[in-house]
Amino acid sequence: MTEITINSPFDMHLHLRDDDMLKLVAPLSSKTFAGAIIMPNLVLPVDTKQAVIEYKNRILDAIGDDDFKPFMTLFFKPYTKEFLSDVKDEISAIKLYPAGITTNSEGGVETIDTIALAPTLNAMAELNIPLCIHGETNGFVMDRESEFMNVYEELAIAFPKLKIIMEHITTKDAVKLVQKYDNLYATITIQHLLITLDDVAGGMLQPHLFCKPIAKTPKDQEALLNIALSGNDKIMFGSDSAPHPKHAKEACGCAAGVFTSPIALQILVELFEKHNALDNLHKFVSLNACKIYDMQPSSKQVHLIKKDFTVPSSYDAHGETVVPMKFNQTISWSIKN
Amino acid sequence: MTEITINSPFDMHLHLRDDDMLKLVAPLSSKTFAGAIIMPNLVLPVDTKQAVIEYKNRILDAIGDDDFKPFMTLFFKPYTKEFLSDVKDEISAIKLYPAGITTNSEGGVETIDTIALAPTLNAMAELNIPLCIHGETNGFVMDRESEFMNVYEELAIAFPKLKIIMEHITTKDAVKLVQKYDNLYATITIQHLLITLDDVAGGMLQPHLFCKPIAKTPKDQEALLNIALSGNDKIMFGSDSAPHPKHAKEACGCAAGVFTSPIALQILVELFEKHNALDNLHKFVSLNACKIYDMQPSSKQVHLIKKDFTVPSSYDAHGETVVPMKFNQTISWSIKN
């Protein structure tokens, strides 16, 4: 195959940041995606209807004329049903962060208590608002996701009508659990399909591959790859593309996040082709998300061509510089302009 | 206790590098140690008698008038008994690196084959030259040391009269194995007594704590700390202090190595005091090494005082800059000048 068309590709987990970084990265998603679930962890978390609308408008300004839908989210807090009913049409999901677990999550939930959180979660279930979760404990870095499985399980059982999205899963434990409960779903990133801790810290230390949750073992990576390639109905592509300025990544005390927006589709086509799974790619990058989120596909089509694409050493605009995964490396597929 | 004197402290695993870096770091070891086993992995490995003597002289030049003995080592290769007999008085050990496993190890051993290596290892045993080993496979980064245990075991059984030093051990598996065979011994670094992978990659990424073998799990760290504090006869302090220029550590693709020479004794006193194990400190930093290596203790005494020592942000001299572990942090013990 030398050309491929992807209908309505969605990125179901995306960080667009704000201000100059937003202006740099938003067009790099809107060029190749039909829409994305936009994370709400700005420096001031997005937690009011007004903040949602204003952030959405800043995103629409940043992408210009591109055909791209920002599906907005709220930062999880105990919200009333009245508030949720009022904001419902402006959001696609609510994102829960355990407090302090990753970038700009200080205002997250201290304890995930199914009784204390029941009013909010029951209202979300009634209003059909999915709950997206960054599922990590504050334990040992390689065990944080696996240790969180009982929290997912408890929530899945306590709120059977609530759609729960296990975000950016990284372990075989998560791959197993997502298949156990009807109301659990998951997103998987590009990097967790491709790398393990070896790539981050097995040779030289690679800050541009450092993210949370950290990449795990070869067995975990294999499990993630297998379920993504299979087209399993519960699994969606979510890049978790998380730009940080170059100087903040290549420094002592580098921030967590891998930037993949402008290379994601090319890599996915290369990967699914390599594993003879191109037939399932559309489910992974679009159809499953539409079913899980009750979304309509966009009419946007993205065309790729089998032609080498050398990833730039950085993307620079508006005074910001961000380094993508696979910088200076070559991918065998390109976006056809 | 407010003062302590350590007789003849030895660092049984030290990288002094060469040229300007040697001139910067050698005096930072010779100030507080009576001697050290000097690693031979220069850019051109130290593998001839002449190279050993010349490197020793460069080290002696760099330390000036300090009372400090550099115990030299050869880079392991298949050597003849004649060569080893001739070089014996100039060296204290031979260091074996699996090829490509860490900094400047490209010329190391491709396959550790007890039959192929027997002539050299038997000659070493006869001449009472210890074999120091960087014990890692090229497997998954968290498993590399544990996977190497069967190699240690095979060598320990095949060469029962050869003293084998398991360098910079990082796992509970190694702590267990070293106690199983009479001819196995081990060194432990400062950082592996204090940190886990969490400290390297659990929060922000910390290049100055990145080394090979990488820091492992809390259970591994606990096992290392317990055997070091116990004063076990087979366990020696070896810092593996491994300076790299600041710009090479705080960069995309940071080199492996933690620099601890100038802070090691202060940290060890603080640590052993905290665990009520000061009675065993002398065994860990001197007596065990003297027995294992058949060395005479030096008459050098190092005095420490319980007084806060704020670790510098870097050590700078001869145009080189190197950042120590715990930079800008405070240790409760200082070297008494």
Over residues B258-288, the pLDDT tens digits come to: 999 999 999 999 999 999 999 999 999 999 9
A93: helix, strand or coil: strand
Work out the percent of chain B whose per-residue pLDDT is above 90. 94
ipTM of the complex: 0.93
Tokens for A302, please give them: 């993205």
Which of A68-77, A242-251, A257-266, A314-323 bottoms out in mean pLDDT, i.e. has the lowest? A242-251
Alpha-carbon distance A101 to nearest alpha carbon in chain B (angstroms): 9
Preceding peptide of A213 cis, ω within 30°:
yes
Q: Tell whether B82 is within 8 A of chain A (Cβ).
A: no
pLDDT tens profile A236-276: 999 999 999 999 988 777 889 999 999 999 999 999 999 99
| Integer Cα distance of A213 and A209 in angstroms | 11
Contact B161, B129 (CB under 8 A): no
Closest residue in chain A to residue B218, using alpha carbons only: A140
* Residues contacting residue B336 through CB under 8 Å, at least 6 positions apart: B3, B303, B304, B305
- Residues for chain B: how many in total? 337
Number of neighbouring beta carbons within 10 Å of residue A90: 14
Torsional sign, CA A101, A103, A107, A112:
negative
Contact B11, B241 (CB under 8 A): yes
Tokens for B49, please give them: 């008698």
Residue contact B142–A141, C-beta within 8 A? no
Chain B residues with CB-CB distance to A254 below 8 A: 204-205, 207
Cα B185 from chain centroid?
A: 13
Residue contact A251–B249, C-beta within 8 A? no
DSSP 8-class letter at A298: P
- Alpha-carbon dihedral A113, A114, A118, A123, rounded to 10 degrees: 110
Alpha-carbon distance A94 to nearest alpha carbon in chain B (angstroms): 25
Q: Tell whether B321 is within 8 A of chain A (Cβ).
A: no
Q: Tell me: pLDDT of A52 over 80.
A: yes
Task: Return the axis-axis angle of helices B218-229 and B264-274, rounded to nearest 10°.
Answer: 90
| Integer Cα distance of A159 and B80 in angstroms | 73
Chain B residues with CB-CB distance to A141 below 8 A: 197-198, 201-202
pLDDT of residue A252: 78
> Chain A interface, mutation test: which of B252, B254, B314, most A Cβ atoms within 10 Å?
B252
> Chain B interface, mutation test: which of A170, A252, A322, most B Cβ atoms within 10 Å?
A252
Mean pLDDT for the stretch of residues B68-93: 98
- Alpha-carbon dihedral B159, B163, B164, B165, rounded to 10 degrees: 180
pTM, two decimal places: 0.95
Mean pLDDT for the stretch of residues B135-156: 97
pLDDT tens profile A5-49: 999 999 999 999 999 999 999 999 999 999 999 999 999 999 999
Q: What pLDDT band is residue B337 in, cutting at 50, 70 and 90?
A: confident
Classify strands B184-188 and B235-237 as parallel, antiparallel or unpaired. parallel
Residue contact A256–B204, C-beta within 8 A? yes
Residue contact B202–A254, C-beta within 8 A? no
Q: Tell whether A249 is within 8 A of chain B (Cβ).
A: yes
* Helix-, strand-, coil-residue percentages of chain A, each rounded to 5: 35, 20, 45
Q: Tell whether B284 is within 8 A of chain A (Cβ).
A: no
| Integer Cα distance of A335 and A333 in angstroms | 7
Q: Tell whether B101 is within 8 A of chain A (Cβ).
A: no
Identify the CA nearest to A12 among candidates A214, A222, A293.
Answer: A293
Work out the percent of chain A whose per-residue pLDDT is above 70. 100
SS (H, E, C) chain B: CCEEEEECCEEEEECCCCHHHHHHHHHHHHCCCCEEEECCCCCCCCCCHHHHHHHHHHHHHHHCCCCCEEEEEEECCCCCHHHHHHHHHHCCEEEECECCCCCCCCCCECCCCCCCCHHHHHHHHHCCCCEEECCCCCCCCCCHHHHCHHHHHHHHHHCCCCCEEECCCCCHHHHHHHCCCCCEEEEECHHHHHCCHHHHHCCCECHHHCCCCCCCCHHHHHHHHHHHHCCCCCEEECCCECCCCHHHHCCCCECCCCCCHHHHHHHHHHHHHHCCCHHHHHHHHHHHHHHHHCCCCCCCEEEEECCCEECCCCEEECCEEECCCCCCCEECCEECC
Chain A residues with CB-CB distance to B249 below 8 A: 252
Catalytic status, residue B240: yes
Q: Tell me: pLDDT of B142 over 80.
A: yes
Chain A residues with CB-CB distance to B253 below 8 A: 204-206
Tokens for B286, please give them: 């001197």
Q: Tell whether A118 is within 8 A of chain B (Cβ).
A: no
A231, HSE (Cβ side, Cα atoms, 13 Å): 12
Q: Tell whether B242 is within 8 A of chain A (Cβ).
A: no
pLDDT tens profile A79-132: 999 999 999 999 999 999 999 888 888 889 999 999 999 999 999 999 999 999
Which of A124-133, B23-32, B42-51, B244-253 bottoms out in mean pLDDT, i.e. has the lowest? B244-253
Query: What contacts 24+ positions apart, CB below 8 Å, involve A195-200?
Result: A195/A221, A196/A220, A196/A221, A196/B140, A197/A142, A197/B140, A197/B141, A197/B142, A198/B140, A198/B141, A200/B201
Chain A residues with CB-CB distance to B140 below 8 A: 196-198, 202, 217-218
pLDDT of residue A103: 84
Residue contact B254–A207, C-beta within 8 A? yes
Residue contact B208–A252, C-beta within 8 A? yes
Mean pLDDT for the stretch of residues B172-198: 98
Alpha carbon of A70 to those of A34, A90, A136, B101: distances in Å?
9, 10, 26, 46
Mean pLDDT for the stretch of residues B181-207: 97
Alpha-carbon distance B202 to nearest alpha carbon in chain A (angstroms): 5
Chain B residues with CB-CB distance to A210 below 8 A: 201, 205
Alpha carbon of A203 to those of A117, B139, B252, B320: distances in Å?
43, 11, 12, 24
> Chain B interface, mutation test: which of A136, A143, A205, most B Cβ atoms within 10 Å?
A205
Residue contact B253–A214, C-beta within 8 A? no
Q: Tell whether B43 is within 8 A of chain A (Cβ).
A: no
Q: Determine the straight-line distance between the first and last CA of chain B, rounded to whole angstroms.
A: 18
| Integer Cα distance of B185 and B167 in angstroms | 8
Number of neighbouring beta carbons within 10 Å of residue B83: 17
Q: Tell me: pLDDT of B1 over 80.
A: no
Mean pLDDT for the stretch of residues B113-122: 96
SS (H, E, C) A5-26: EEECCEEEEECCCCHHHHHHHH
| Cα angle: B35, vertex B38, B43; to 5 degrees | 155
Mean pLDDT for the stretch of residues A60-69: 97
State residue B170 phi and psi, 5-degree precision: -135, 5
Place of tokens 């120590």: B324
Q: Tell whether B210 is within 8 A of chain A (Cβ).
A: yes
Tokens for A145, please give them: 């996701």
Q: Tell whether A53 is within 8 A of chain B (Cβ).
A: no
pLDDT tens profile A124-134: 999 999 999 99
Residue A289 parent element (H or E): helix A288-292
Q: Which of B205, B208, B249 sits opposite A210 (nearest CB)?
A: B205
Contact A173, A142 (CB under 8 A): no
Q: Tell whether A248 is within 8 A of chain B (Cβ).
A: no
Cα B15 from chain centroid?
A: 8
- Alpha-carbon dihedral B42, B48, B52, B55, rounded to 10 degrees: -50
Identify the CA nearest to B238 among candidates B38, B26, B27, B102.
Answer: B38
Chain A residues with CB-CB distance to B102 below 8 A: none
Place of tokens 């209908």: A7
Residue contact A204–B250, C-beta within 8 A? no
b/e sequence A256-274, b meaning 16+ C-beta within 10 Å: bbbbbbbbbbbbbbbbbbe
State residue A108 phi and psi, 5-degree precision: -75, -170
Chain A residues with CB-CB distance to B216 below 8 A: none
| Integer Cα distance of B184 and A296 in angstroms | 66
